[in-house]
Structure 1
């Protein structure tokens, strides 16, 4: 018995314990616990982020309501966040931060709310919170509409943005200079205010068609001149310094009619110019291409022609170092056709293409696209049942047609005058439309396309009289520039204008009668592009140096304060009916002499005239729409002012009449 107990004590007891889980099972449990913990954490984070997002959006909506109340009370949104909420400021919820931006040009704001790395923003235009922060430059994008001109006709034909952030425009003017019409170059600041203007020309007609900014910060302008050269008219190329001083001018032409159209600066610092010539090439007119050095020396010239008339209206240096021109030819299979021609760097013709239908189809502007192809615009008359329309053609690098579109109304007149490729890869066309009044007044129009030819939007500048859009450019802030002609706004007769649109095609504070949204049809065209065998020559051109007259143009000073403002109808004449002349007279008291006056009128353009004379001498006699135009007569002051409104025999009435609203006297 003892021994049994002893043995039990001395013998070690066998371990009979079995673990509840294996190591694998334990690891699986740990993984499951980790997954569950992760799910809980993700759920918490998601719920937390949703709570933050909801709080930020609520902050923005509440703040937007307060900002709208500020606008209701003050007509404007507050300029700073501290001035908002009637001077109490905008307060976000705990931990959130506000960033507020205000644009005084179009009275708009953008407000961003941020917390723990999450952000939402709200804009005055939509008032709907969106994820992210206010777009860069959102409230910095400006817009304006400026007119340029004097007491006669002025035409804006081409515009660019300059490297200093401003703008430049060129065209021709009958208001300044020394001849019938002179070339003008106008420089504007970023806000659209005029910096300086220069006129260039001789005793005859001189016109500018294109402007570029050169690599040295100056400018180059091309066009046509009847004042200089060897023939009826010659093409010309003029180089300016950055402040508008002429460095040199050269003509291109022979004994007949030669016109410069467009130009580009080449990679070697020189210039390439295209146009039409009646002095060289085939019978009638031929297209020409001229290469110049950076100093204005002519390197070579080439003509492009068939059996009829051919006009080049666009030129680019291509990405391979060669050149491309586009224009109009009547050597195609039908009437007038669009043509596109590609040259090597030494002016050897590589290929030519024509495009068109049975009508008159004209190529007016062209750009090389980022894919190495080409986009062309102009006017198409071959599209049955649609009148004359604006078009856009897209070609590949070798001149194969990719697609073609027409834009316009069911009838009337629509034309593309300038095309650019936008920074988003789409295309913008400046032109003319009568979609709002077919067969009557034209409106300036700017049309935006996607890269594949779908219509994005169209905007028009409209008025009581005709307007035309001639030149397009893109601004560095993503907006667009439009240069053109207006007979409804500005000074006497027709004025040049420069318009700055935002990226979506709007102009701040532009009333609905002036800024319209045309709803033209975007039509697929079925016409094909065909190869063409064109004749080329290398003419010996007379290129002469020009010593043209240069004139500094000073914009009209702001209207000064009037000594007497007429509150009644002292010098106001309403429309008296047809075939009438009605006058009113006013004399300054006490022997005082009048030194200036302000006139406003709205009469039928070119038919009914409002006249202002002093002591029997006519100092103003105009038709059309003019507002607050100041006339300085301090060099020949007078004591008696007489206003007269003369109407023609036709019954149509184009406005309210005319009036002198105030005078300055000593």
Structure 2
């Protein structure tokens, strides 16, 4: 890691938001002076969140893949940036068995295609793989990984090497634009685009074999942005041509539908729009009450019952890209607003109920007890997520890490490293840099 990369790491860690105690929900923006966007968010077992997107404000290229770990109230725990000199972004991730992350995105810095990254629990890279354009990744029971691409199916081993692939041109003659799984029967649903003439729906098993393929459906649906297993079948959402307005002005409406699991026939189908506004739906998810939640233009959140009838809608501003129901029955939404990555946390009815109060937390304590010697000794207190620091040498190259899962402790470092000057960099809400020297 060079000097510029070290600066980027520190700059990313210093992104801050005003802390609040939140009773029903919260809103946060994250970013710098350039365009930053969020594409995916997932709640973790401890109630915190991991967020994936892209940043132009930070990093080395046109855009870089951006990973953020947030506390339950939206405050930043840590951030990581990945990329090169060109365009890179992240769109989906999965928490793996080792509590690390399997990240899917796109890259033009390291080729031109899909970018699959495996990291540890702190976001540090273990391996990367560039494939043809892809849309879905997950860990498999054997410790390997499955990737569904725009033109094929891949199985990777635990180190990210391709061990099996299957080309879909012979089946669809076009590209996969959306996919979801695994379904309750262990299969995957994909939607392939044939252009503006309609979309093809297909089901594949865990070896990539096509189980069934529907005929063309929804000819007025221009694109499928998201596909998921529903309560009765498979649900999807995207834009469709709205009615033609005076002066031949054409616009998009939001369209959502649920189709059966055998032939892909409609169970229900609805359109929402307010002429002459352009509407689009980016994500649809089943909810615990038997209905659905949609993140889309105009209505940032649109709640439907099990037959597609709207129950409530809320607009918070910005452009939402992904929504997920949280363990408390509320919703977490990620997207972009005003050039920043934007996150909204709501209650089960889409309300925020934000009330600002003074936050009183035990102060974090980090001290280098012995900064010069054959070993460096440091102590820390009040780190409920555990302690993590990076070690850089005098050239700005990252050479090691110090990790401990305990909330409080005393740590020693340097026994197996060369003599010289080093810097301990701690990036937890605030940046702390300590200079240390290893001598005999």
Instruction: Output the CA distance in 2 between the equivalents of 1:461 and 1:553.
Output: 34
User: Helix, strand or coil: the match of 1:190?
Assistant: coil
Instruction: Output the CA distance in 2 between the equivalents of 1:184 and 1:471.
Output: 16
Q: Is the 8 A contact 1:360 1:382 kept in 2?
A: no
Q: Is the 8 A contact 1:290 1:300 kept in 2?
A: yes
Matches of residues 165-176 of structure 1 in structure 2 within 5 Å?
Answer: 165-176=47-58
Cα gap change, 1:484 to 1:194, in 2 (>3 Å): same
Give 2:129's aligned residue: 250
Give 1:274's aligned residue: 148
Aligned-pair Cα RMSD in Å: 2.9
Q: Deviations over 1:613-657 (max 9, x none)?
A: xxxxxxxxxxxxxxxxxxxxxxxxxxxxxxxxxxxxxxxxxxxxx
Cα gap change, 1:263 to 1:336, in 2 (>3 Å): farther
Higher strand share: 2
User: Helix, strand or coil: the match of 2:199?
Assistant: strand
Give 1:236's aligned residue: 115
Q: Which runs of 5+ in 2 are unaligned?
A: 1-19, 356-396, 399-424, 432-440
Cα gap change, 1:455 to 1:479, in 2 (>3 Å): same
Give 1:449's aligned residue: 304
1:318 aligns with 2:206: no
Displacement of 1:218 in angstroms is 1.7
Cα gap change, 1:430 to 1:301, in 2 (>3 Å): farther
Instruction: Output the CA distance in 2 between the equivalents of 1:375 and 1:268.
Output: 29
Which structure has more relative contact order (CA 8 Å, sep 6+)? It is 2
1:484 aligns with 2:335: yes
Displacement of 1:250 in angstroms is 0.8
1:216 aligns with 2:98: yes
User: Helix, strand or coil: the match of 1:411?
Assistant: coil
Matches of residues 25-40 of structure 1 in structure 2 within 5 Å?
Answer: none
Q: Which runs of 5+ in 1 are unaligned?
A: 1-102, 107-141, 254-258, 277-286, 434-443, 488-493, 511-548, 559-666
The one of 283, 306, 322 aligned to 1:418? 283
Cα gap change, 1:457 to 1:167, in 2 (>3 Å): same
- The structure number with the bigger radius of gyration is 1
Displacement of 1:206 in angstroms is 0.6
Instruction: Output the CA distance in 1 between the equivalents of 2:311 and 2:38.
Output: 26
Q: Is the 8 A contact 1:327 1:365 kept in 2?
A: no
Give 1:368's aligned residue: 229
Q: TM (normalized to structure 2)?
A: 0.70
Give 2:137's aligned residue: 263
Give 2:316's aligned residue: 461
Q: TM (normalized to structure 1)?
A: 0.47
Cα gap change, 1:163 to 1:104, in 2 (>3 Å): closer
Cα gap change, 1:148 to 1:275, in 2 (>3 Å): farther
Give 2:256's aligned residue: 392
Q: Deviations over 1:245-268 (max 9, x none)?
A: 112111113xxxxx3333334444
Cα gap change, 1:261 to 1:345, in 2 (>3 Å): closer
Instruction: Output the CA distance in 2 between the equivalents of 1:479 and 1:307.
Output: 38
Cα gap change, 1:342 to 1:553, in 2 (>3 Å): farther
Give 1:497's aligned residue: 342
The one of 355, 366, 375 aligned to 2:217? 355
Q: Is the 8 A contact 1:361 1:382 kept in 2?
A: no
Instruction: Output the CA distance in 1 between the equivalents of 2:34 and 2:426.
Output: 14
Cα gap change, 1:181 to 1:345, in 2 (>3 Å): same
Matches of residues 490-569 of structure 1 in structure 2 within 5 Å?
Answer: 494-509=339-354
Q: Is the 8 A contact 2:222 2:241 kept in 1?
A: yes
Q: Deviations over 1:540-587 (max 9, x none)?
A: xxxxxxxxx99x9969969xxxxxxxxxxxxxxxxxxxxxxxxxxxxx
Cα gap change, 1:375 to 1:163, in 2 (>3 Å): same
Displacement of 1:242 in angstroms is 1.4
Instruction: Output the CA distance in 2 between the equivalents of 1:345 and 1:311.
Output: 16
Instruction: Output the CA distance in 2 between the equivalents of 1:297 and 1:212.
Output: 18
Cα gap change, 1:314 to 1:480, in 2 (>3 Å): same
Q: Is the 8 A contact 1:393 1:405 kept in 2?
A: yes
Instruction: Output the CA distance in 2 between the equivalents of 1:554 and 1:329.
Output: 47
Displacement of 1:459 in angstroms is 1.1
